[in-house]
Structure 1
Amino acid sequence: MTADLLEDEAEAHVRGVCFKTGPPARTGVELEWLVHDRSDPRTLITADRLDAALAPVEVPGAIPRGSRMTREPGGQVELSSPPAGSLTECVEAMAADLAALRAAMDRADLVLTGFGLDPYRNPPRLLDHPRYAAMEGFFDREGPWGRTMMRRTASLQINLDSGDDSAGITGYRQRWELAHRIGPVLVAAFANSPLSEGRPTGWVSTRQATWAAMDPGRTRQPDHDPDPRSAWARYALDARVLCIRGDEAATAGGKEADWTAPPGLTFRDWLRGAAHGLRRPTVADLDYHLSTLFPPVRPRGWLELRMIDAQDGDAWVVPTALTATLLDDPVAADAALAATEALCLDGQPLPPADVWRRAARIGPADPDIGKAVGACFTAVESALARSDSPAALRAAVAAFAERYAERGRCPAHDQLDALSRV
């Protein structure tokens, strides 16, 4: 982990650790929440108040099913489930852990709010860590979007196995392609961030628009390659270095630390010795660099789908069920590939950037995207009916489809409707 790293070794390492193959079986979900004051959602929550609210659930065993709780720079709170053996197990475990977190918030007169972007506040950065200071400085060079992402956004991430070595629907190559094919569908169907500073932004997913405006070398999808491992290795090494990790012990001891990376330095440049006066990178540096890449689908030994806005209340179960079913049920997967064919232009296998923008701007009101959203919901409803999934889960998906997908709407429209009634 501490020896100098060569370029071919780096490429081999990325290929090996980011796509671990095997039969797809596990499901995980990460729920990120904005934290609001119960009586006034415009109130800024201090670090001390958040610390006091979360203290009861930071005791070992307080989160009953083992989800990991973390905090984001703007005071958002995230629960990350352990991998579950089925969709049903994942949903049930996260529901139990979320209930514990909500109870702690309730005792502190705080609420977990599931919007993709805070519609009212622009909070300060609450986490004083050199990673976030370096990240903020990196993104500040190109505009305000990085600070917005770090402090004001919240997402819902689905984690699924990469797949096996087969050439079929369970293979990692096709699962990688399908995850990107349904990406704009998921953006549109669950868009939930149309407001900023209390006013419409012109986007139904301002969160996704924010990501798209940031450093494209770490936020866009990789160029298509029949071999996803090669595509990802190129992407990772050609991305600019966001920060260079220093001494964690010194940081924990309260000492000043500067993790700022030289401007414009890619990891490949660093491997080739282009950063004069800077030590050579190690495997540990490469692993940390991989954690600073934020594309819509991030391979981490599994596939992490990162393009979905946070959902309010218990609506998170619907994108979790939709995504897991589209990738893990062979019939639904085939239907999703067919449904998204029209989103892939000029014979390309993946939707272009324009489709992602349309999904974020107008959501399922876009005719082609809306049609794909409807077809994917139909396929998932049929798949769940064939399975032993709980009736409550099937009902939640059906109710969401009736309220939104079948009407060319998404949760963002509820926020816009509420604003128009004020």
Structure 2
Amino acid sequence: MARDVIDEHVISSRDELVGWFEAGSKPNGPFRVGTEHEKIPFFQIDDRPVPYGGRGDCACGIGSLLESLRAAQGWEPIEDEGVLIGLFDPVGGGAISLEPGGQFELSGAPFDNTHETAAELDAHFAALAPAAESCGIGFLDLGMSPVWRRAETPVMPKQRYDIMARYMPKVGSLGLDMMFRTSTVQTNIDFASEADMVEKLRLGLSLQPLITALFANSPFTDGKPNGFLSMRSQIWTDTDAARTGMLPFAFQPGMGFEAYVDYALDVPLYFVKRGDIYHDVAGASFRDLLAGKLAALPGERATISDWANHLSTIFPEVRLKRYIEMRGADVGPKSHILALTAFCAGLFYDAQASAAAWDLVKHWTDEDRSAVRLSVPREGLAAKAAGVSLLDLARKILPMIREGLERRGRLDEAGRSEAIYLAPLEEIAASGENLASKRLALYKSDWRGDIKRVFVDCVY
């Protein structure tokens, strides 16, 4: 999340929270797609991580990189206690933010189609390249930091991350790895109504393991293969059970905004922000804040800002805000970032593709979905749900999505539909090898076990 929401309206009832979600519905459209991606920076001179303020032999760091981009793009600053920690475009709606370990994130604006997302991505990298070059910084296109230990990873100066870092070890063994060492790409989609939200949420949750398998790209940790194709996905299984997972309640009768509100209310708080200060209330109940009974902040009542910020600290495989976030993919090269955008546009915004895909997975049980979610980090496309491999599922669903994109008819200047962006996924489905598999093969062959080759072959 690039910027905390600022809305000091005091919430008077649970019904207001339900209404907040309802207000996100777009019964008459337009439906947009927005794509967010993170990338891990490194110093090109020695392949080491990049601290916020630089280091002894190099004054450049993440902070100076942000300053260079601010000067080049004219975007507005996002600050935390007077420290520059992000930028936002007051015209286009995009933003740049920092993840806890310095992962550099572009939160893209919502667009009509993948061609527009591609143009945004090109503009981002065109602006970033000279700024990064002047600082001697490169960026990995992997879903997890492949070499540095967690203790070697720098910490960004953001109050909310300090609170999270103190709390994470209390609720899971891998939460700090999630914060400081992983890198993801996600696509955000709109819904027309509560019923439409439920249909999209269920389809998204069912197919999220397939997305994880197709985009798996985090097979290295601490300088060697880690035994997984998506270690980033595995890390989420032991981060914080209260705020992660496959949301089995979403498949129960009566699912709707109220059910998600009740789920979110039961997820413990991390912080409450008042003014510029983040108050550490980790583990406390939002219900208490709603009632003005939060022990750490007596008398304080929940605001819309508190609610929106709280929702940003919940991390299920598919997350509901005033739009739906598909969160299960490792980041990869630019072509893979755009492939996720196209995948989601074709899947969710073409009724025929959505219905055909749902027919393939609607019989899955909670146990089926849980089992494939747990097996996919290690097995990738070989993982099975209800006896069907994800590879077989990919080979059935990708043609449906291609046809959906063709029907959508969003054409570029050359008259091509968004289906052109599916090529990397179609290649993976044809070969059965995702990026992780290919890079593990390189590690054993061309790289001859030299993990440092990631800083040459796995960069933007």
Tell me if TM exceeds 0.5.
yes
Deviation at 1:62, TM superposition (A): 5.1
Deviation at 1:17, TM superposition (A): 5.1
- TM-score, with normalisation over the residues of structure 2? 0.79
User: Is 1:86 matched with 2:113?
Assistant: yes
Report the Cα distance in structure 2 between the residues aligned to 1:273 and 1:18, rounded to whole angstroms. Answer: 26
Give the 3 Å change call, closer, same or farther, for CA 210–140 of structure 1 in structure 2.
same
- 2:371 counterpart (331, 354, 362): 354
Q: Which runs of 5+ in 1 are unaligned?
A: 252-257
Letter in 2 for 1:8: R
Cα deviation, 1:188-226, whole Å, max 9, x if unaligned, reads 111111111122222211111111211122112332244
Deviation at 1:12, TM superposition (A): 3.3
User: Is 1:46 matched with 2:51?
Assistant: yes
Contact 2:18 2:257 in 1 (8 A): no
Match of 2:430 in 1: 406
Match of 2:258 in 1: 230
Give the 3 Å change call, closer, same or farther, for CA 233–147 of structure 1 in structure 2.
same
Cα deviation, 1:56-81, whole Å, max 9, x if unaligned, reads 21137357966311111111111111
Aligned length: 403
Match of 2:167 in 1: 138
Deviation at 1:155, TM superposition (A): 0.7
Deviation at 1:313, TM superposition (A): 4.0
Please provide the CA RMSD for this pair: 2.7
Contact 2:271 2:279 in 1 (8 A): yes
The alignment partner of 2:39 has SS state of strand
The alignment partner of 1:245 has SS state of strand
**Which stretch shifts more, 309-318 or 3-12?**
3-12
Contact 2:209 2:372 in 1 (8 A): yes
1:334-413 correspondence runs (5 A): 334-341=355-362, 344-345=364-365, 352-367=369-384, 368-386=389-407, 387-390=409-412, 391=416, 394-402=419-427, 404-413=428-437
Cα deviation, 1:102-132, whole Å, max 9, x if unaligned, reads 3322333222222111111234343223211
The alignment partner of 1:59 has SS state of helix
Letter in 1 for 2:202: E
1:112-131 correspondence runs (5 A): 112-121=139-148, 122=150, 123-131=152-160
The alignment partner of 1:259 has SS state of strand
Give the 3 Å change call, closer, same or farther, for CA 333–12 of structure 1 in structure 2.
closer
Report the Cα distance in structure 1 between the residues aligned to 2:425 and 2:294, rounded to whole angstroms. Answer: 52
Identical counterparts, % of pairs: 25
Report the Cα distance in structure 2 between the residues aligned to 1:10 and 1:384, rounded to whole angstroms. Answer: 37
The alignment partner of 1:307 has SS state of strand
Report the Cα distance in structure 1 between the residues aligned to 2:357 and 2:12, rounded to whole angstroms. Answer: 40
Match of 1:331 in 2: 352
Deviation at 1:153, TM superposition (A): 0.9
User: Is 1:148 matched with 2:199?
Assistant: no
1:208-247 correspondence runs (5 A): 208-222=233-247, 223-224=249-250, 225=252, 226-247=254-275
Contact 1:24 1:163 in 2 (8 A): no
Contact 1:20 1:302 in 2 (8 A): no
**Which stretch shifts more, 13-22 or 279-288?**
13-22
Report the Cα distance in structure 1 between the residues aligned to 2:67 and 2:9, rounded to whole angstroms. Answer: 39
- 1:312 counterpart (318, 322, 333): 333
- TM-score, with normalisation over the residues of structure 1? 0.86
Contact 2:39 2:104 in 1 (8 A): yes
Give the 3 Å change call, closer, same or farther, for CA 266–29 of structure 1 in structure 2.
same
The alignment partner of 1:314 has SS state of helix
Q: Return the structure number with greater strand share.
A: 2
Cα deviation, 1:344-395, whole Å, max 9, x if unaligned, reads 22xx5x9532221122221112252221122221212233344344449544
Letter in 2 for 1:58: R
1:277-296 correspondence runs (5 A): 278-279=297-298, 280-283=300-303, 284-296=305-317
